[in-house]
Amino acid sequence: MNTANLQIEGLLMAIAGLNQLLVAKGIASVEEIDKSLARSEQGVLGDDRVVEDLSPANRDAIAFPIRLLRLANNMGDGAGTASFAELARMVGETKGKDNDQL
């Protein structure tokens, strides 16, 4: 596996843990974090460059980290975060079909 992928995996799990800490400390709610991540996802997917120049698979790649963090945030129960592999699988299962897959 590419070393950069492993670094991104670690970074995403660290951010998921920080998000849980923010909720546990009462600094932000699960809903506030989800809304912020949803706005980020809409922003990256609404970028003209993304819409016009990238394939659906590449658009999914851009949205993947945000989608993973949203799932981790919404699954948080204070007992810890699901594994990266489990979250990644869930991202793939929950994303809709792209226009070229219909």
- pTM score: 0.85
Per-position pLDDT tens, the chain of length 102? 678 899 999 999 999 999 999 999 999 999 999 999 999 999 988 887 777 888 888 889 999 999 999 999 999 765 667 899 999 999 999 877 654 453
Residue with the two structure tokens 């897959």:
101
Which pLDDT does position 102 carry in this prediction? Answer: 39
Which pLDDT does position 100 carry in this prediction? Answer: 47
Which pLDDT does position 99 carry in this prediction? Answer: 46
CA-CA distance, 63 to 47, in Å (whole number)?
12
Which pLDDT does position 46 carry in this prediction? Answer: 87
What is the domain partition of the chain in residue ranges? Answer: 3-94
CA-CA distance, 24 to 101, in Å (whole number)?
40
Sequence-distant (≥ 6) Cβ neighbours of residue 38 within 8 angstroms: 70
